[in-house]
Amino acid sequence: MLRYIAKRILIAIPTILIVSVLVFTLQQLLPGDPVLTLAGEERDPQVLAFLREKYRLDDPIPVQYFAWISQVLQGNLGISLRTDIPVLTLILGKLPVTIELAIFAMMVALVIGIPAGILSAVRKGTSVDYAANVVALSGLSIPNFWLGILLIMLVSVRWKLLPASGFVPPSEDLWLNIKTMIMPAFVLGTGLAASLMRHTRSAMLGVLRSDYIRTARAKGLLGRVVIMKHALRNALVPIITLSTLLFGELLAGAVLTEQIFTIPGFGKLIVDAVFNRDYAVVQGVVLCTAVGFILMNLLADVLYVLANPRLRHAR
């Protein structure tokens, strides 16, 4: 198994390197002279010359890339043009907020998605199954930013039950922190819940058709025991790995959710950076997201092997 994990890590390295090339290439897409874009309103020739030298823009592109990647490998993702704060510091400062939102959203997704998937599979072909499928497909089709707007209109504006926007750190006021997170977590979690529901349903249907389930039923075990103890355990294996793979969707969804609910997280950081033309921050966020996603993939592979005894003992 260790060999398998080592192999996966070795495959991840070139992928991360190619991601870094892609992220670096983004800068080359800037229309016109990149120095003018980087300098913003500033047109002083001395400043332009300074920036040109700082970013080594007169060097050939491969040289620029190696200069950039050697800095990145030392943990230097550049300096934000707007705030003069190192990009890594900015990202690390915003990350806990997004991680909290992601954890809440994942809880929503698991609480709704898995039971709905089980129910739908067990009651296949009934109105419950049909209703669960309609709800799941609707969850996949509804744009989460619109769902956010609708919820704010109803829950905050009309019913005045929860705050419409903003973020309070849990260290400051835990209850208010939870109240501000409920709606964003629901908005972010519904799409994932729909995905999880569909996957749980199909995994459960596959397992429920297998011989050992028929045997368990033939032995006279209670239906509930067969489903919860025998079927769900095996159906959960691919679902665990899927949950880690949904990390990418969570981060992408967080961009819009944080924008609607004015949550100062990772997603809002990239959007603000886009509008401030703070390209170093955009590159930093994309690079960190991709590396995070690759690591989550690695974790998914390891979890899959750990959860599946046949793979665990395979050479």
Partner 1 sequence: MTIAITEDLALPKKRNRVLAKFLKNRSALFGAVIVLFFVTIALMAPLVAPFDPVKPSFMTIRKPPSAIFWFGTDELGRDVFSRMVWGARASLSAGVVSVAIAVLLGVPFGLVSGYFGGWIDAAISRSTDAMLAIPFLIFAIALAAFLGPSLTNAMIAIGLSAMPIFIRLTRGQVLSVKAEDYVEGARAIGLPDFWILLRYILPNVIPPILVQATLTIASAIIAEASLSFLGLGQQPPNPSWGSMLNTAKNFMEQAPWMSFFPGSAIFLIVLGFNLLGDGLRDALDPREN
Is residue 266 classed exposed, middle or buried when 0-12, 13-18 and 19+ CB atoms within 10 A define those classes? Answer: buried
Q: Which two tokens stand for residue 61?
A: 């592109």
Distance in angstroms (rounded) separating the CA atoms of residues 266 and 88:
12
Q: How far is the CB of 62 from partner 1 (least distance, A)?
A: 17
C-beta atoms surrounding 78 within 10 Å: 18
Report residue 93 CA to chain centroid gap. 17
Residue placing its CB nearer to partner 1 in the complex, 232 or 283: 283
Residue placing its CB nearer to partner 1 in the complex, 31 or 45: 31
- Interface ranges with partner 1 (CB under 8 A): 14-16, 18-19, 21-22, 26-27, 29-31, 137-138, 140-143, 145-146, 149-150, 152-153, 157, 248-249, 251-253, 255-256, 259-260, 270-271, 273-275, 279, 282-283, 285-286, 289-291, 293-294, 297
Distance in angstroms (rounded) separating the CA atoms of residues 308 and 302:
10
Q: What are phi and psi of 246, to 5 degrees?
A: -75, -5
Report residue 304 CA to chain centroid gap. 19
Q: How far is the CB of 136 from partner 1 (least distance, A)?
A: 10
H-helix segments, the chain: 2-28, 34-39, 45-54, 61-73, 87-122, 127-141, 144-151, 174-208, 211-218, 223-225, 232-245, 247-260, 266-275, 279-307, 309-312
Q: How far is the CB of 291 from partner 1 (least distance, A)?
A: 8
Residue placing its CB nearer to partner 1 in the complex, 97 or 256: 256
Q: How far is the CB of 247 from partner 1 (least distance, A)?
A: 9
Nearest-10 crossing angle of helices 266-275, 279-307: 150
Q: How far is the CB of 235 from partner 1 (least distance, A)?
A: 19
Q: How far is the CB of 70 from partner 1 (least distance, A)?
A: 19
Residue placing its CB nearer to partner 1 in the complex, 293 or 304: 293
Residue placing its CB nearer to partner 1 in the complex, 248 or 264: 248
Residue placing its CB nearer to partner 1 in the complex, 184 or 232: 184
